[in-house]
Structure 1
């Protein structure tokens, strides 16, 4: 390799590392902007014929902020409030009755209040860096949303040009690049539209059941179910099942039985029927792997890791599969 090529590659490596360090604090918002641009691109293509390219992009961004970001921020604020309340011992659950029932049935004393408090404190620390980190997290989210909106605007306008640039830049045969992009498209669609959307919808359905049944902090448990719903078969049952049992134990038998029936008939059947319909079968994404991405993503980058983690793992799997099929036999 010539000295000039070596120098240029070294220069690219150094500045790529510096660029990564600069982008790292907001990498989740960069990924979110890319995902939103991916989802909104077909809509933008249709609108630009009527409104023009720029107006269509602005309209889509405003609509996205009103339809997704604003409600999401509200849900996060409610979740934080509930989490802080539980961390301070205000779970709203009648833990004394449950502890008495467990003691009478098993002879074992269980301090449920302490378990709930310590668990909430740990979750709070992982997501927000403790109580003192809430303000810093709020400021970061505000800046991140601004970055996301800025990138989303230009990705909607220049997305196709970026794909062309990607084709020219990647040192792969065209058919290999096409195959890789097809796998990336199937993986991204499976994660965003498939597993995550079904998990969110299933958790919201179960959350409505918790709220109607009178379970305290229903919004908090709904957020937990969004993550657990990525687990096959059991998923949200890990929340609404014990919630139904709790209602029975504290004496609200009717609500507990109705919640159990609602969970079995509505929540579980929705997951069983919706997931095969919504998910693109080409993706072949294992929900267990996605759960690992969700939990690891939340731990690494915060709340938006719900989306970032599975996408990163999905892209890795797609790249490895492409390498196996195209180059492993060479």
Structure 2
């Protein structure tokens, strides 16, 4: 490598690092826009073909369809996600701001009497708690509440900006996504056959994860939320979000939420509502979990459930609420890359596209190496497939 090539490579590394720093704060929203564009791309093409008879230029038709799909995506995906996030913030803020120490002591006293504790024991516990609630501690608690409120406000502003970026990026990916993919394929230093196989594998495993895990989790969470709403459980949106998360857990699912809810309704003197929720969970939620997931998994399972679980939990840690859906998809894309690399350069048996390319190249390589195209013993053609 000469000096000029090295300098140019160093310049690209520096510029790439700066670009990564700029994209990193918005990375979850960029990835979410890419995932939504991937899901909506087939619909985009079908609608463009439907509008062929409309007297508009092809570019204008593409923009019109992308605008409509972006609006639909905002209503169907972005707005509910934003509402769930706001509800979570409000729940945390409400708990921090409405906590009442004296009322908590009274509730503790009532609980102690229900448990059969003696009055002296209850008085000692209350005295110890009061001794810890000194003015400095109360002041620190107020500071914590104010600090958390400001932090939640900043997070709300950042989320609003991120969602704005998501919407605009989704629109432009729908309009110019083909051009972007072609550019990535052109600049990537990968053999064309391997590159095409990689794109195909990414497409297959991504759709598999979306269908067999993400869509099933959304369906179970929403149906579970409807069941909780029917029996009058409070904070239904928050519990719906929790059920969407736990539905990714293998062998556990949404019963981790509606099961304790049934017990809570029984304990609070609502046996009729508890029975209704129990029957709803068995007749609706369990059937959806067993049969709907089985249908999608049997057809095209992209990842093992344990890997999906890691993707969900790790995605939430890394990307926030967006990681709930992006984590499994990113692991699926990583798996696709490993599969194609193993088929092209490793020990995995290549599939049809790579195998056909290998059969086309093998005779030429063989002749270049030793000039032999027939069997030296009997003169018959050597089978190179």
Equivalent residue, structure 2, for 1:74: 83
Change (3 A) 1:73 1:284: closer
What is the root-mean-square deviation of aligned Cα atoms in Å?
Answer: 2.9
Q: Contact 1:230–1:288 at 8 Å: present in 2 too?
A: no
Specify the structure having the higher radius of gyration (Cα): 2
- Using the alignment, how far apart are the partners of 1:191 and 1:323 within structure 2? 20
Q: Hey, which bits of structure 1, 4+ residues long, moved more than 4 A? A: 86-90
Partner of residue 180, structure 1: 198
1:27 deviation in Å? 0.6
Name the SS of the counterpart of 1:251 in structure 2.
coil
SS at match of 2:196: helix
Say which is worse superposed, 239-248 or 211-220, in terms of deviation.
211-220
**Alpha-carbon shift at residue 218 of structure 1 (Å):** 2.0
Distance in 2 of aligned mates of 1:135 and 1:192? 32
Which of the numbers 194, 211, 220 marks the counterpart of 2:212? 194
Higher RCO (Cα < 8 Å, 6 or more apart): 1
Q: Please list, as runs of the form range in 1=range in 2, the aligned pairs for 1:238-277 lying within 5 A after superposition.
A: 238-277=256-295
Q: 1:279 to 1:136 in 2, by over 3 A?
A: farther
1:297 paired residue among 315, 331, 334? 315
- Mapped to 1, the partners of 2:298 and 2:201 lie a distance apart of 11
2:338 alignment counterpart: 320
Match of 1:34 in 2: 34
Structure 1's unaligned 5+ residue stretches are 105-124
Q: Matches of 1:12 and 1:175 in 2, distance apart?
A: 26
Tell me how many residue pairs correspond in the alignment. Answer: 303
Task: Work out which of the residue numbers 310, 321, 325 in structure 2 matches 1:307.
Answer: 325
The 2-side partners of 1:259 and 1:172 are apart by: 55
* Alignment match, 1:5: 5
Query: What is the CA–CA distance in structure 2 between the aligned matches of 1:12 and 1:323, rounded to whole Å?
Result: 25
Deviation at 1:202, TM superposition (A): 0.2
TM-score, scaled to structure 1: 0.82
Q: 2: CA distance between counterparts of 1:283 and 1:243? A: 32
Instruction: Determine if contact 1:167/1:177 at 8 Å carries over to the other structure.
Output: yes
Query: Runs of 5+ in structure 2 lacking a partner?
Result: 55-60, 101-106, 117-143, 349-385
SS in 1 for 2:321: coil
Indicate if the aligned counterparts of 2:212 and 2:301 stay in contact, CA closer than 8 A: no
**In the superposition, relative to structure 1, how do residues 204 and 314 fare at CA in structure 2: closer, same or farther (>3 Å)?**
same
Change (3 A) 1:314 1:130: farther
* Alpha-carbon displacement from aligned partner over 1:144-194 (angstroms, at most 9, x marks no partner): 122122222221121111222222122222222122112211222123333
Q: 1:229 to 1:58 in 2, by over 3 A?
A: same
Between the aligned partners of 1:160 and 1:279, the Cα distance in structure 2 is 29
Say whether 1:64 aligns with 2:82: no
- Residue 290 of structure 1 contacts residue 310 of structure 1 at CA under 8 Å; is this kept in 2? yes
Q: CA deviation at 1:68?
A: 2.6
Structure 1 window deviating more from structure 2 (241-250 vs 293-302): it is 293-302
Distance in 1, matches of 2:273 and 2:173, equals 49
User: What's the counterpart of residue 113 of structure 1?
Assistant: none
Contact 1:190 1:280 in 2 (8 A): no
1:179–1:193: structure 2 CA closer, same or farther, 3 Å change rule?
Answer: same
Which of 161, 172, 182 is equivalent to 1:154? 172
TM-score normalized by the length of structure 2: 0.71
Does the C-alpha gap of structure 1 residues 84 and 295 become closer, same or farther in structure 2, counting only changes over 3 Å?
A: farther
CA distance in structure 1 between the partners assigned to 2:256 and 2:94 by the alignment: 22
Cα displacement (A) at 1:283: 4.1
